Amino acid sequence: MKPKCFRVVKPEIRVLGVDDGKFVPHVKGQVLVVGVVFRGGYWLDGVLHTRVDVDGFDATDKIAAMITCSSHCKQLRVVMLNGITFAGFNVVDIKALHKVTNLPVITVTRDKPDLDEIREALKNLPESERRWKLILDAGEPLELSTRNEQEKIYVQATGLSMGDAEKIVRLTSTRSSIPEPLRVAHLIASGIGGA
């Protein structure tokens, strides 16, 4: 699929920020995943939700269904994920998510992923090679400053250029170094998805 090209990133671009709630690691169960629809980095337009299995393989399908079944779907321009893993090591296949939703996908993390540490942790889970491949397929995270040079975040993107991903991340980072759609999704998910 050809990457989306934004001639101009509009100030009110509709972005879906997605994050998961609290959970007990390595304990079977489901975890709340919240999506918030933002216009730019200022206006909250809607809230979506789903549940995914702890250390499962359903995050990609569940998040895709949450998006495509939403009344907001036609207005969305970008999906922004808080990292590539949800509910432990339920890894999102960002390329498949892009293909199913026809929306570019951006991942954002505060810390640079330690691939050696991740690889070691995956050894304790079934189908560790499948999970590892999804993590590698997401590409090398790019270091980025959003509000000042001291605060760094790490971004991966599929379905759009890294230049456009940077513009969107910076545009939506209005109150902290983390884009507002992700900051609010985190607040909601952690507030109502307690372990």
d(CA 155, CA 166): 8
Question: What residue ranges define each of the domains in the chain, with the CATH number in brackets?
Answer: 14-192 (3.30.2170.10)
Query: What's the full length of the chain, in residues?
Result: 195
> For the purposes of burial, counting CB atoms within 10 Å of the CB of 126, is it exposed (0-12), middle (13-18) or buried (19 or more)?
exposed
State pLDDT tens for residues 54-72: 999 999 999 999 999 999 9
Provide the pLDDT for residue 150.
76
Range in 18-22, 88-92, 118-122, 146-150 the model is least confident about:
146-150
User: CB of 178 within 8 A of CB of 26?
Assistant: no
d(CA 142, CA 156): 6
Torsion of CA 12, 110, 2, 40, to 10 degrees: 0
Token pair 């509709």 is at which residue? 14
User: CB of 117 within 8 A of CB of 179?
Assistant: no
Q: Percentage of the chain with pLDDT > 70?
A: 94
Torsion of CA 64, 68, 70, 72, to 10 degrees: 110
- What number is the average pLDDT over the span 144-170? 90
Range in 93-107, 112-126, 145-159, 160-174 the model is least confident about:
145-159
Closest CA to 189 of 53, 4, 3, 20: 20
Sequence-separated (6 or more) residues with CB below 8 Å from residue 141: 107, 109, 112, 113, 154, 155, 156
Provide the pLDDT for residue 147.
75
Q: What are phi and psi of 157, to 5 degrees?
A: -150, 150
Which SS3 state, helix, strand or coil, does residue 133 take?
helix
State pLDDT tens for residues 89-135: 999 999 999 999 999 999 999 999 999 999 999 999 999 999 999 99
Tokens of 148: 């000042």
Provide the pLDDT for residue 88.
95
